[in-house]
């Protein structure tokens, strides 16, 4: 009597690995398939990071171009999705420095770090303790997206990666080349900015 092997379920990481190896090996359809797996998610990320749809489209296009150029250097030591978002963040920073996106007023890093330290130890109002994901319903979604886009970039990217894309603190730290403690502080401040803009939804 023979027994059948139990069916195997391919994980997202396994599927990504197969496509990456195929793309590196020169199979023509592999990279377009990889792009299709992530282009909508990456566009949603870019739309929250950029000021306009056209800027978001440019960011997605340039990110995948950079990924294609660097794919042979991918070491499979991290999830492809994490690496992809790290490339996207670095691409956005480069484009910002080239003034591709509209410049945004910002404090110096020194001033922001001092404010972060103060915020991390300050008291939080009761309504601001609500989990951010509770805000992401149909009625508030567009308002939330506008509020996210109004955040200073260093807070915006942390809030989007943690609360929208649902990366862990450690993954976000790796993507942004920050310490986990720094991610937590920036996330706290970013959430406070957002909830301050949405005060009218939580107060009589």
CB 39 within 8 A of CB 26: no
Which CATH number fits the domain that encloses residue 142? 1.10.10.10
The mean-pLDDT minimum among 40-49, 70-79, 121-130 falls in 121-130
**What digits encode the pLDDT tens for the residues 38-68?**
999 999 999 988 878 899 999 999 999 999 9
Return the higher-pLDDT residue of 176 and 108: 176
* Number of domains observed in the structure of the chain: 2
Q: Return the H-helix or E-strand segment holding 25.
A: none
- Residues 74 and 149 both lie in one domain: no
Q: Is 131 within a domain?
A: yes
Q: Is 18 within a domain?
A: yes
Which CATH number fits the domain that encloses residue 83? 1.10.1740.10
Q: Report d(CA 19, CA 26) in Å as an integer.
A: 11
Q: Is 155 within a domain?
A: yes
Q: Report d(CA 51, CA 132) in Å as an integer.
A: 22
- Residues 114 and 197 both lie in one domain: yes
Q: Within a 13 Å sphere around the CA of 172, how many CA atoms are in the beta-carbon half? A: 24
- Residues 139 and 59 both lie in one domain: no
* Structural domain containing residue 175: 109-201
Last-in-domain residue among 46, 77, 97: 97
Kindly indicate the confidence band of residue 110, based on its pLDDT and cuts at 50, 70 and 90: very low
- pTM for this one? 0.75
The mean-pLDDT minimum among 27-31, 97-101, 149-153 falls in 97-101
* Rounded average pLDDT over 21-35: 94
- Residues 20 and 74 both lie in one domain: yes
Kindly indicate the confidence band of residue 18, based on its pLDDT and cuts at 50, 70 and 90: very high
Last-in-domain residue among 32, 62, 97: 97
Q: Is 103 within a domain?
A: no
- Residues 22 and 73 both lie in one domain: yes
pLDDT value at position 143?
Answer: 76
The mean-pLDDT minimum among 2-6, 27-31, 161-165 falls in 2-6
Contacts 24+ apart (CB under 8 A), 112-118: 112/152, 112/154, 115/189, 116/185, 116/186, 116/188, 116/189, 117/185
Q: Report d(CA 201, CA 143) in Å as an integer.
A: 11
- Residues 136 and 77 both lie in one domain: no
> Locate tokens 């023509």: which residue?
28
CB 158 within 8 A of CB 190: yes
The mean-pLDDT minimum among 61-70, 125-134, 144-153 falls in 125-134
Most confidently modeled range among 44-58, 114-128, 173-187: 173-187
Last-in-domain residue among 71, 97, 123: 97
CB 73 within 8 A of CB 79: no
């Amino acid at each position: 009597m023979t027994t059948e092997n139990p069916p195997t379920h391919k994980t997202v990481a396994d599927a990504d690995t197969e496509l990456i190896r195929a793309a590196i090996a020169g199979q023509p359809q592999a990279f377009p398939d990889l792009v299709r797996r992530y282009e909508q998610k990456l566009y949603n990320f870019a739309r929250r990071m950029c000021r306009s749809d056209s800027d978001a489209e440019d960011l997605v296009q340039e990110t995948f171009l950079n990924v294609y150029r660097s794919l042979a250097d991918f070491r499979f030591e991290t999830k492809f999705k994490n690496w992809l978002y790290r490339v996207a963040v670095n691409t956005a920073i480069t484009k910002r420095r080239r003034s591709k996106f509209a410049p945004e007023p910002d404090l110096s890093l020194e001033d922001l770090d001092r404010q972060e330290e103060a915020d991390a130890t300050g008291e939080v109002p009761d309504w601001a303790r609500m989990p951010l994901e509770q805000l992401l319903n149909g009625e508030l979604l567009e308002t939330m997206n506008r509020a996210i886009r109004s955040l200073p970039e260093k807070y915006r990217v942390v809030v989007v990666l943690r609360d929208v894309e649902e990366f862990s603190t450690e993954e976000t730290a790796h993507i942004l080349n920050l310490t986990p403690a720094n991610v937590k502080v920036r996330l706290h401040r970013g959430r406070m900015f957002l909830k301050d803009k949405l005060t009218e939804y939580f107060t009589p």
